[in-house]
Amino acid sequence: MSTLRYAVSQLTPELRVSMIYTFAALIWILLSDRLLELLVGPDPAMMGLLQSVKGILFISVTGGIFYIVLRREFSARRETEEKLVLSEEKFRYLFMHNPLPMWVYDLHTLRFLDVNATAVAQYGYSRSEFLSMRITDIRPEADIPHLLRNIEQQRPTLQFSGEWRHRYKNGEIATVEIISHELEFSGHHGVLVVANNITERKRLEAELREQQTLHLALKKENEVRGVQGRFVSMLSHEFRNPLAGIRTASDLMDRYYDRMTDEQRHGYCERINTEVDNLNKMVEDILTLLRSDEMGPEFNPEPLDVLAFCEDIVRKWLNVTDRVRFQMESVDQPIVVEADEKLLRYAITNLVSNAVKYSPPEQPVKVVISKDDQHVKIAVRDKGVGILPENMDQLFEPFFRGKNVGNVPGNGLGLAIAKQSVDLHGGSLSVTSEVGVGSEFVIDLPQKQRE
């Protein structure tokens, strides 16, 4: 039944009325003639009278049916037309009173078909001028080929067309965002366009980018000045102390050389050599940092057994102090990483050296190796002075030293070079610390299992 109803609803109104009339007439003729034969029999006079009555009834019934059917059809058509008119009025109202410029153009001829009041006010052309123009007339000459290529391309019915340049009547060029929608308009295959002027927004965005660039440049300049200031401070302090020691030892040996014992002379020579080594290390650190900034550090990774490597570093430290301890966690087989031995040795040695320097003499320093499926971690733990929270952000900057290091010697370069060395390996160098409790520096490297 529902299928039949759907099929009938797809017919034109004229065909539906014709079918209803034909069906009703056939039913009436067949049933009424049969009924009269049953009622009056072969009496011709009575049959003629009843045939006249039957004709009058047929005309009355079919007229009523026609009236009902036509009224229904015309009511539906009138309702549809009213909705269409109302919809068009709403569209026309929204189109004409939209705060953004809008127009409709013919997709084939590119001529304007209609334009709203906002477009007239903003672009400077009168309505009649718009309707005599093509959309290419409001584009800069250089943009027209790109526009024509864009129109020829297959595109969705509703499309965000991006940013374009439009030319106003006074010659001003504006940047606009375009949204377009294809539609049938007064018998034309048209395109409805909404244009949003974003010239001021683009100008503000450009100013913001310029301000951000200037801010970053100023921040970088301040950082450079901060590094330069710390560098000068380091030179004045860390270079002056070894030089003063060398000068003192040299003066004493010059004045009292003949009165000194061989042991005293040897002691002063050792002091001079030690201070020269300290100066040489500072110069090497500075040159390493400068070379890496200018040309990039040398990086030559090779397969390296981390356990044997760290054991060797700790063994050498035991010749200096017995405070360094070596420990392994979650390690049950050799660990191989791709590493530059020189850079990694510098990083681990620097961390151990700092841990020894900033810890009380009675506190041990631990070097702990651990691993998981993808990473190997080398942790250096101490129970020293710790790092002030306000110094954490600058800890790996060149020439920076914490405010609580006291008179412990240092040039502020070791951690900067150590972090750079670890970064080159694709790893990370992190730190956790608490003042008065101690610190833990962790080198996290990607692992390569030995086959």
- Convert the pLDDT of each residue in 263-284 to its tens digit: 888 887 887 887 777 677 666 6
* Helix or strand run (H / E) with residue 366: strand 365-371
The CATH number, out of the four listed (3.30.565.10, 3.40.50.970, 3.40.718.10, 3.40.1260.10), of the domain defined by the range 302-446: 3.30.565.10
According to DSSP, residue 330 is labeled: S
pLDDT for res 64: 74
Taking residues 366-389, report their average pLDDT.
Answer: 87
Q: Looking at the predicted structure, is the pLDDT value of residue 295 above 50?
A: no
pLDDT for res 408: 65
Radius of gyration of the chain (CA): 48
Highest mean pLDDT among 198-212, 247-261, 437-451: 198-212
C-alpha 332/C-alpha 379 separation (Å) is 17
pLDDT for res 17: 65
Q: How confident is the model at residue 168 (pLDDT cuts 50, 70, 90)?
A: very high
- Convert the pLDDT of each residue in 369-379 to its tens digit: 888 878 889 99
Q: Looking at the predicted structure, is the pLDDT value of residue 382 above 50?
A: yes
Per DSSP, the residues of 46-85 read HHHHHHHHHHHHHHHHHHHHHHHHHHHHHHHHHHHHHHHH
The CATH number, out of the four listed (1.10.287.130, 3.20.20.80, 3.40.470.10, 3.40.50.1220), of the domain defined by the range 212-294: 1.10.287.130
- Mean residue pLDDT of the chain comes to 78
pLDDT for res 294: 45
Q: How confident is the model at residue 193 (pLDDT cuts 50, 70, 90)?
A: very high
- Token pair 């929270």 is found at 389
Strand partners, 324: 365
What percent of the chain is modeled with pLDDT above 70? 71
pLDDT for res 172: 93
Taking residues 302-316, report their average pLDDT.
Answer: 85
Q: Which of 232, 286, 241, 268 is nearest to 409 (CA)?
A: 241
Taking residues 106-127, report their average pLDDT.
Answer: 93
Q: Looking at the predicted structure, is the pLDDT value of residue 337 above 80?
A: yes
Q: How confident is the model at residue 13 (pLDDT cuts 50, 70, 90)?
A: low
Q: Which of 363, 369, 374 is nearest to 442 (CA)?
A: 369
Q: Which of 184, 188, 165 is nearest to 111 (CA)?
A: 188
pLDDT for res 450: 44
Asked if 169 and 125 count as a contact pair (C-beta separation under 8 A), the reply is: yes
- Convert the pLDDT of each residue in 23-72 to its tens digit: 767 776 767 666 666 666 666 666 666 667 777 777 777 777 767 766 77
pTM exceeds 0.85 for this model: no
C-alpha 100/C-alpha 174 separation (Å) is 14
Asked if 346 and 422 count as a contact pair (C-beta separation under 8 A), the reply is: no
pLDDT for res 71: 73
- Is 3.30.450.20 the CATH number for 101-197? yes
* Helix or strand run (H / E) with residue 391: none
C-alpha 33/C-alpha 74 separation (Å) is 34
Using the Cα atoms of residue 397, residue 399, residue 402 and residue 403 in order, give the sign of their dihedral: negative
- Convert the pLDDT of each residue in 143-159 to its tens digit: 999 999 888 887 676 77
- Token pair 């401070």 is found at 233
Task: Give Cα separations from 172 to 115, 138, 175, 179 (angstroms).
Answer: 20, 11, 10, 21
Q: Where are the domains of the chain?
A: 2-95, 101-197, 212-294, 302-446
Beta-sheet strands, E only, within 72-172: 102-106, 112-115, 158-167
